[in-house]
């Protein structure tokens, strides 16, 4: 398994277990080092003690060795540890006076680890007054090493139990401690699936409580944004349907009569031609021409609603000035002012149409609903992060907008247009009271979309 694919829980667990393992390994090395030194020291001390004891006990033993004397010596040496005491019999045979090692021997590798084969203990030989009776004392390392082995064996299983316990407790601690991260992961999965209904519970861990609180705030913001977008989409669809109905109504109410009139004139024209009525023919032709002129006017007006031809003919700046002048003529009782600075006619087509429609909608709303005495249109440009932005403000000194009031279809569509271009839309109180509609649109037509 690659390290990069390990989960955070496993990484932290391996770190804890690794530190614990290194600590136990260091402790084991120290224990073995001290055990080796203590074992050698104790064996040498036992040899010295045994030598003095033997000299004392055999001082009064006479030869030949009687069975009772030999049994007494064996009983006296019975408690000697880690040494083997042997005495030479009258026949030259070496008789063991101690029982030797009592414990189960340690593994050979452990014996070599504690008392290396290179460690040699001298065999002590005692000769009594030049007689043939000799005694030899030999160190027995197996018994001492076996005691150390039992201690190390117990410590080993204690270390194993400690390692398993710490690993289990660490795993449980990480499981519960990282639960907030799992909750965040599940929360992000729900966000990716478009589910904003369930916030993430705020944990008791201070380091993650703030993160999850901010996550829930983002979820709330996304939920509200989604709701607003759906409302905008519904309003936009409603507005489009209203526009289609208006066009259909205009086609039916205004175009149909003219077309019917042209049809009637054409029938009358055919009758006049059949009767060779020159005056009637001219009158019918004039009537048809008048109907065609009216149809052209209506079509031009409808095309202007669908696509402002003035933009193609005169550019954005002149088109905005035309809007202001048009309302100045239609509502002379109001003061209409325009401050157009740095308005480039080479802007993206979608940007020009959006700016034109925005000013058109705002001027229409000001004339119909604001009750204002003055309306000001201001358009300027600025640079943000090396991107050119157009800033548009249409402000009036009228009654303003009631707090909490919903946007109408016109402003809703305007908001949607501006958002589609990555721009900003804001409604505020104007400098002279009333309402100020402020827009900011990137000149390239797409920033942060």
Question: Domain map of the chain by residue range?
Answer: 3-177, 206-299, 310-442
Task: Read off the tokens for 180.
Answer: 């907030």
pTM (2 d.p.): 0.45
- What CATH topology corresponds to 310-442? Heat Shock Protein 90 (3.30.565)
C-alpha dihedral (398, 404, 405, 411), degrees to nearest 10: 80
pLDDT digits (tens, 9 = 90+) for 161-200: 988 898 888 888 888 877 877 887 888 888 778 777 777 7
How far, in Å, CA of 299 to CA of 196, rounded?
47
How far, in Å, CA of 83 to CA of 122, rounded?
12
Q: Is the Cα torsion angle 94, 100, 104, 106 positive or negative in sign?
A: negative
Residue with tokens 């989960």, as numbered in its chain: 7
Task: Read off the tokens for 129.
Answer: 């007054």
pLDDT given for residue 389 in this prediction: 87
How far, in Å, CA of 381 to CA of 389, rounded?
6
Kindly indicate the confidence band of residue 447, based on its pLDDT and cuts at 50, 70 and 90: very low
pLDDT given for residue 294 in this prediction: 82
List, in sequence order, every residue forming a beta bridge with 394; answer none if it has no partner. 377, 437
Residue with tokens 């009271």, as numbered in its chain: 433
Residue 88 has phi, psi (to 5 degrees) of: -80, 125
| Percentage of residues in the chain having pLDDT higher than 90 | 0
pLDDT digits (tens, 9 = 90+) for 26-72: 888 888 888 888 888 877 787 777 777 777 766 655 555 555 656 66
Residue 48 has phi, psi (to 5 degrees) of: -65, -45
Longest dimension (CA), the chain: 180
Task: Read off the tokens for 142.
Answer: 């197996």
Query: Cα 42 from chain centroid?
Result: 63
Helix axes 141-177, 8-57, angle to 10 degrees: 160
């Amino acid at each position: 398994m690659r390290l990069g694919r390990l989960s955070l829980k496993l990484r932290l667990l391996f770190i804890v277990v690794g530190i614990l393992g290194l600590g136990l390994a260091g402790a084991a090395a120290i224990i073995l080092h001290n055990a080796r030194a203590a074992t050698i020291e104790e064996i040498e001390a036992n040899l010295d003690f045994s030598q003095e004891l033997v000299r004392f006990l055999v001082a009064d033993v006479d030869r030949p060795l009687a069975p009772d004397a030999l049994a007494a010596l064996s009983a006296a040496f019975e408690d000697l540890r880690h040494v083997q005491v042997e005495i030479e019999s009258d026949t030259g045979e070496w008789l063991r006076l101690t029982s030797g090692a009592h414990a189960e021997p340690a593994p050979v590798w452990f014996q070599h680890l504690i008392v290396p084969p290179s460690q040699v203990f001298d065999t002590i030989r005692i000769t009594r007054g030049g007689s043939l009776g000799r005694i030899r004392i030999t160190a027995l390392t197996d018994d001492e090493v076996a005691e150390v082995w039992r201690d190390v064996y117990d410590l080993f299983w204690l270390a194993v139990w400690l390692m398993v316990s710490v690993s289990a407790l660490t795993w449980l601690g990480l499981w519960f401690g990282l639960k907030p991260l799992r909750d965040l992961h599940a929360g992000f999965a729900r966000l990716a699936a478009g589910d904003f209904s369930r916030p993430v519970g705020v944990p008791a861990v201070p380091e993650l409580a703030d993160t999850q609180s901010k996550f829930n705030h983002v979820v709330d913001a996304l939920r509200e944004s989604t709701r607003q977008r759906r409302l905008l989409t519904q309003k936009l669809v409603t507005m489009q349907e209203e526009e289609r109905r208006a066009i259909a109504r205009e086609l039916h109410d205004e175009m149909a009569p003219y077309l019917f009139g042209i049809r009637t004139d054409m029938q009358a024209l055919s009758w006049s031609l059949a009767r060779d009525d020159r005056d009637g023919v001219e009158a019918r032709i004039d009537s048809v021409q008048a109907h065609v002129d009216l149809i052209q006017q209506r079509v031009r007006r409808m095309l202007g609603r669908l696509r402002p031809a003035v933009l193609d003919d005169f550019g954005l700046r002149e088109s905005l000035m035309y809007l202001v002048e048009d309302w100045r003529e239609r509502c002379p009782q109001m003061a209409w002012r325009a401050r157009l600075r740095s308005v480039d006619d080479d802007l993206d087509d979608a940007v020009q149409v959006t700016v034109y429609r925005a000013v058109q909608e705002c001027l229409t709303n000001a004339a119909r609903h604001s009750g204002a005495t003055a309306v000001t249109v201001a358009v300027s440009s600025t640079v943000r992060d090396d991107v050119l932005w157009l800033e548009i403000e249409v402000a009036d000194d009228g009654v303003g907008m009631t707090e909490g009031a919903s946007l109408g279809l016109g402003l809703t569509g305007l908001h949607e247009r501006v958002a589609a271009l990555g721009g900003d839309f804001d409604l505020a109180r104007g400098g002279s009271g009333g309402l100020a509609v402020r827009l900011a649109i990137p000149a390239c037509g797409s920033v942060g979309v």
